[in-house]
Structure 1
Amino acid sequence: MFSFKEAMRRVITGDDAGGQSVVILDGGPSSEAGDPDLGGLFEIWEDAASGALDPKQHDDLGTRQPILGPRPGNVQVRWFVIAPTPDGVPREALNAATRERFASFGGAHHIIDQTRHPAMHETHSLDVICLLQGDATLILESGETRLKPGQVVIQRGTNHAWQAHGGPALFLAVLIDRELVRS
């Protein structure tokens, strides 16, 4: 059986002491919160959104404990896995389990309204999200959009959730810290 863990490989480049480009890291996620085949966050890299870039700096910038959104002024790159909503579980139990899961990675305060889906949440970031594997739906307050692998969502600080169908779905996300303004 294929595991999403097999697909999670990050290759990070930099410069060696002589200024030649090299691979400085090659492996799986640097830190994780969850199970790659059941659901969770799997960190690739986090860095400042602006400022100087030093290819000779070889620290692994993905090793911090996963949190829902990027830290202030940062860009966060990660995989995330969404599992299908289990059948037969009472809605209040799903809502409570989701709030607990979000709290485990610092995101409890991002759950605004669970009316449409237990995982409806709002982030203060500009997110570029690509479905890599699986079948999933983006759920918004006013509707739903089904996605196929390779399709991209630009998530702009809106209340949303993801629903997987027929098995877990693997996504790649680039999250850019932004100030959320409501006019």
Structure 2
Amino acid sequence: MSDLRDEQSTLLAATKYKPVRRIVTGEDSEGRSFIVSDGPTPNVTITKFASAAQVPWATGAAAAPGDDPAPAGHIFGFHSEGGALLRIADFPPDQEIDTTKLAEFLAENHVVGDRPGRHFWFHKTLSLDYAIVLEGEIYAMMDKGETLMRAGDVLIQRATSHSWSNRSSKPCRMAFVLLALPDDDSR
């Protein structure tokens, strides 16, 4: 476990992002609760376009087999069929984003919209997302309009075209609970 912590700490230290502490509970053979693990989230992705994502937990089709559904190195899409995905994402200021690499990432993950957006992050996924600002601030942009979100604000993103714009000089940390929706869901 210490090798994993060292690897994740090194990865995050190379950026401006801090590890997310993950505390997992369980029950013993007598049904008594206890702390199973307490340490940095092992599943960390530093993107090629300058953001970071840490997945502390997943359920459903995207979860890894075994005792840890979000181990180091496991690849996650934007949501998990038949379950939920918890992702902590760090958004750098807009001026630090490599927009060419971001466009490649969105295309590789099949989330590029069929119409141009007002901002380079514009995308749409078939999911219900609870987006919570933990630190910093960010603009939630829609096709029509936008709103500034600050720490403690929650956006209910209902499978709509949207973008995130960090116009500040500091990173913004957000928590996302992502729930897949069936194709015919009215949200």
* Cα contact 1:139–1:162 (8 A) shared by 2: yes
* Cα contact 1:5–1:28 (8 A) shared by 2: no
Partner in structure 2 of residue 100 of structure 1: 104
Displacement of 1:83 = 1.0
The C-alpha deviation readout for 1:19-62, integer Å capped at 9, x for no partner, is 11011121222212117xx512211100139xxxxxxxx81111
Displacement of 1:129 = 1.0
The C-alpha deviation readout for 1:50-99, integer Å capped at 9, x for no partner, is xxxxxxxx811112634342221120011011111117x9xxx72x3212
1:9-88 matches, cutoff 5 A: 9-34=21-46, 38-48=50-60, 59-63=67-71, 65-86=74-95
Paired with 1:169 and 1:181, the residues of 2 have a C-alpha distance of: 33
The C-alpha deviation readout for 1:86-131, integer Å capped at 9, x for no partner, is 17x9xxx72x32122335xx52x11114431111111111111100
* Superposition CA RMSD, Å: 2.4
- Structure 2: runs of 5+ lacking an equivalent: 1-15
Query: What TM-score do you get using the length of structure 2 for normalisation?
Result: 0.76
* Cα contact 1:79–1:170 (8 A) shared by 2: yes
Paired with 2:154 and 2:68, the residues of 1 have a C-alpha distance of: 27
Three-state SS of the structure 1 residue aligned to 2:37 is strand
Paired with 2:75 and 2:53, the residues of 1 have a C-alpha distance of: 7
Paired with 2:23 and 2:78, the residues of 1 have a C-alpha distance of: 22
Q: Percent identity?
A: 27
- Relative distance call for 1:136 and 1:43 in structure 2 (3 A) is same
* Cα contact 1:39–1:168 (8 A) shared by 2: no
* Cα contact 1:111–1:119 (8 A) shared by 2: no
Paired with 1:75 and 1:102, the residues of 2 have a C-alpha distance of: 21
Partner in structure 2 of residue 175 of structure 1: 178
Shift >6 Å, 4+ stretches? none
Paired with 2:136 and 2:105, the residues of 1 have a C-alpha distance of: 22
- Structure 1: runs of 5+ lacking an equivalent: 50-57
Paired with 1:72 and 1:60, the residues of 2 have a C-alpha distance of: 18
Query: What TM-score do you get using the length of structure 1 for normalisation?
Result: 0.78
